């Protein structure tokens, strides 16, 4: 079950997630003056954290006795990540389209 390709994909997932967290932190600090952009960045960070959870569970089937439960955790983590990322995108779109009077 644990092939080098699968472990490499998990390592790439963790690396890309770490880079995404770094850049969202830098961007969030750049837009600190806009109060309506605080929640989207938090949701985006939660989405990336869910992807990290999904990537961390890839090498566990050797240790775990319940592979079906582990796969369920991976699927739920990816679906939750998609929800958080898409919700953050919608909230950012709303924040970008606010007028100067708001």
Note whether residue 25 is domain-resident: yes
State the residue range of the domain holding 80. Answer: 4-96
pLDDT tens digits, the chain, 102 residues: what are they? 457 777 787 788 888 888 888 888 887 777 767 666 777 888 888 888 888 888 777 766 565 567 777 788 888 888 998 899 888 888 888 777 766 655
Q: 101 in a domain, yes or no?
A: no
The answer to whether position 102 is within a domain reads: no
pLDDT at 65: 61
Q: How many domains does the chain fold into? A: 1
Cβ distance 51 to 17 under 8 Å? yes
pTM for the predicted model, two decimal places: 0.69
Environment class of 83 (CB within 10 Å of its CB; exposed 0-12, middle 13-18, buried 19+) = middle
């Amino acid at each position: 079950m644990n092939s080098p390709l699968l472990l490499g994909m998990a390592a790439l997932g963790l690396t890309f997630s770490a880079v995404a967290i770094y850049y969202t932190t830098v961007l969030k600090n750049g837009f600190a003056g806009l109060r309506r952009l605080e929640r989207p960045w938090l949701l985006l960070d939660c989405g990336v954290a869910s992807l990290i959870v999904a990537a961390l569970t890839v090498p566990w089937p050797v240790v775990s006795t319940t592979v079906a439960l582990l796969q369920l955790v991976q699927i739920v983590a990816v679906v939750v990540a998609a929800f958080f990322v898409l919700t953050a995108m919608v909230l950012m779109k709303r924040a970008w389209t606010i007028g100067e009077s708001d």
